[in-house]
Amino acid sequence: QKEVEQNSGPLSVPEGAIASLNCTYSDRGSQSFFWYRQYSGKSPELIMSIYSNGDKEDGRFTAQLNKASQYVSLLIRDSQPSDSATYLCAVTPKGATNKLIFGTGTLLAVQP
Amino acid sequence: SAVISQKPSRDICQRGTSLTIQCQVDSQVTMMFWYRQQPGQSLTLIATANQGSEATYESGFVIDKFPISRPNLTFSTLTVSNMSPEDSSIYLCSVEDLGTESYGYTFGSGTRLTVV
């Protein structure tokens, strides 16, 4: 079992729709959770971090964390073609709070 | 957010040679991290570099292959030694960014390495 799992996609959504990206992790002791966006040929850029169960909203983005079920999700409202990118989920494992373990990413394609 | 300058941005190298990648941060940071992203793969942590001490390497990575220097709190280098085509990857440095509204880690622009 991979430590951090994501559906590779592509996830295709029409412009203006809600894109839902999901991530599961195996280490129940994981403490911090991050969503990064990576455009082709570019380095990852941080979208959001979340540490507690529940929802965290920032503009069009909402991160959701459920530690009991060991999943974290990212919702993108009013999706735009410029949101088309690979979205990487990353977690910090218990006892290694400065180490990021990344999933393989979900490719999102927003259709105009 | 911290700003990281990484160079070179890309290079094509002959097998058996070495390449040194540099990262300069615009603020002092305790730890710097080096990641590798192989083609079509996600990011894997190579090592953590602290100023004044030896780098800590992750399983599967060794100092002889990936020596790291950390001479001060704003600069680090990663050398990829005795390269083979399997080393063709994107190499990224990263720092813990305490200044962001949403705490996280910032990445440099990456070095795209091709070994022929």
Check CB contact under 8 Å for A43 and B102: no
Mutate to test the interface with A, among B42, B45, B97 (most CBs of A within 10 A): B42
Write the pLDDT tens digit of every residue in B25-82. Answer: 999 999 999 999 998 888 999 999 988 888 999 999 999 999 999 999 999 999 999 9
Write the pLDDT tens digit of every residue in A72-92. Answer: 999 999 999 999 999 999 999
CA distances from B88 to B5, B37, B107 (A): 21, 9, 19
| Concatenated DSSP letters of B68-115 | EEEEETTEEEEEE-S--GGG-EEEEEEEEETTSSS-EEEE---EEEEE
* DSSP 3-state of A87: strand
- Listed as ranges, residues in chain A with pLDDT below 70 are 1
Rounded to an integer, what distance in angstroms lies between the CA atom of residue A43 and that of residue A37? 8
In the 8-state DSSP scheme, what is residue B108? -
Determine contact, residues A79/A19, Cβ cutoff 8 Å: yes
Check CB contact under 8 Å for B43 and A44: yes
Q: Which residues of A touch B102 (CB under 8 A)?
A: 46-49, 58
Check CB contact under 8 Å for A88 and B42: yes
Candidates B43, B60, B39; CA nearest to B107 is B43
Q: Which token pair is A13?
A: 């959504």
Q: Give strand pairing partners of A5.
A: A24
* DSSP 3-state of A90: strand
Q: Percent of chain B having pLDDT more than 70? A: 97
What's the pLDDT at B5? 96
Q: Name the average pLDDT for chain B.
A: 93
Rounded to the nearest angstrom, the minimum Cα separation between B74 and chain A is 18
